[in-house]
Amino acid sequence: MRDLAPVLMVQGTASSVGKSVLVTALCRIFKQDGIDVAPFKAQNMSNNADVTPDGLEIGRAQSEQAAAAGVTPSVEMNPVLLKPQADHESQLVLNGKPAGVLRSSEFVERKRDLWPHVERALTRLRSQYELIVAEGAGSPAEPNLRAGDIVNMRVARHAGATVLLAGDIDRGGVFAHLLGTLELLEPEDRPLVRGFLINRFRGDRRLLDPALVEIEERTGVPVLGVVPWIRDLAIAEEDAVALERGGGAGSGETAIDVAVIHHPRIANFDEFAALGREPGVGVRYVESASALGSPDLIVLPGTKATIADLAVLRERGLDAAIVERARLGCVVLGVCGGFQMLGTSIVDEMGVEAKPGTRVQGLGLLPVETRFEAAKETRRVSGSIVAGQGPFAGASGLRVEGYEIHMGQSEGDCAPLLEIEGRPSGAVSADGQISGAYVHGLLENDVLRQALLGALGRPGPGGVAPREAAFDQLADVVRAHVDVERVKALVFGASD
């Protein structure tokens, strides 16, 4: 029987310190060095999800990390996914399938029951690969969360992992964060931390030298890398916290203005990142009617709570503003929950999102009605564009790929946007200016994106760096600033 692979684990001093990106980089580095590597995160809390080839749902970050490692994403890489759908409650996706709702009041008790699933998934991965690069969640040093931990030090202890503790210097206080985190760990856990990583540094590294020496002397833990701030990082973000670091993306002078509606429970927003990296395209995330302006394209993205977020849209006056812009000729695209909002009505007879029997009015921009169903549709899809009018007409016949994650079906008397497996899918208004689909990732298809931007009036060619090139670029930066050979020695043992 094959020995279980060692585990290298990246934990953080807080949420959003860059753990996901560092794991992505390490997966790529080890792949480049000929090591059969796979990512792992026991529990993810995010509405950014992806679908594995066998139709199971995992966190988007783990899917991205698998791609960087050059392996097929599998549900073992993220056995527990929590998708926030309201304050204090999340949908539990266990081993890739919906498994009820997890409320904050029962968080600690229920999470104890999830540990066997985590243990089995990690053991299976360790039996299939030469190295596992695991990611923690939040901080491992929260005393109130310790009893229900299934993602940080419990994983590290179980696997005998080599832990690298990462901190974000850009937010300030990184040395206090590193020292404080280490001090708050249980005494038996501290020796598992074998190195520090300082992330998102701007400036002359030599200015850090005195602090690096002091933190090593105080803790006995070496600083194994100081990773610089990486601009225009073409890697999927783990969750919507990333949107708080900036309102949009763009490359140089903006010729095309894209407004993405920032729902409170926005999902899979990263699928529009390729738009923001296109030359001459600016992408803004909009939360109010006053901020909408007069964009060339309005995107209503997915959401984990369509009915609740539609109500917020109305509270903020964005519903009327979107309808007004549409009537003035603005192109509008709805994806998944955003597609549902564009229709005439949403019916929830079974109480999937609201009280049973709930019916709400949509924006009325597409003649479709959505009915929620208890069964969740999760699958990877491929098909072709069939729109005959509007900005997508120039892409008619183009092959596209993507994935679906939804709990409703939308039907109406209108032309389809797509044909998938020989069946019509999505919807397009009579003039082609309004369209919607359940397929995530449409605008990550390069040729389709170019056709859309051309129809919106962008002069000249565009294009973004291929995904593989983005992974290599990230790996090059991290390799140049992290002592990878020393990390290998910690994980595999010193070589002769």
User: Would you call 440 a catalytic residue per the annotation?
Assistant: yes
How many whole angstroms separate alpha carbon 155 and alpha carbon 149? 9
252: burial class by Cβ within 10 Å (0-12, 13-18, 19+)? Answer: exposed
Catalytic residue from among 117, 262, 263, 440: 440
Active site residue: 336, 406, 414, 481, which one?
A: 336
Distance CA 46, CA 117 (A): 19
Instruction: Tell me whether strands 162-168 and 7-12 are parallel, antiparallel or unpaired.
Output: parallel
Q: Are the beta carbons of 410 and 368 closer than 8 angstroms? A: yes
**Would you say how long the chain is, in residues?**
496
Give, in order, the Cα–Cα distances in Å from 352 to each of 50, 206, 348, 406.
Answer: 21, 56, 6, 11
The DSSP output letter for 299 is E
Residue 45 CA to residue 472 CA, distance in Å, equals: 27
Could you tell me the two tokens for 237? 């973000």
CA distances 417 to 56, 366, 433, 481, Å, are 25, 12, 11, 46
Among residues 317, 329, 266, 256, the alpha carbon closest in space to that of 292 is found at: 317
Most distant CA pair in the chain, distance:
71
Catalytic residue list:
336, 440
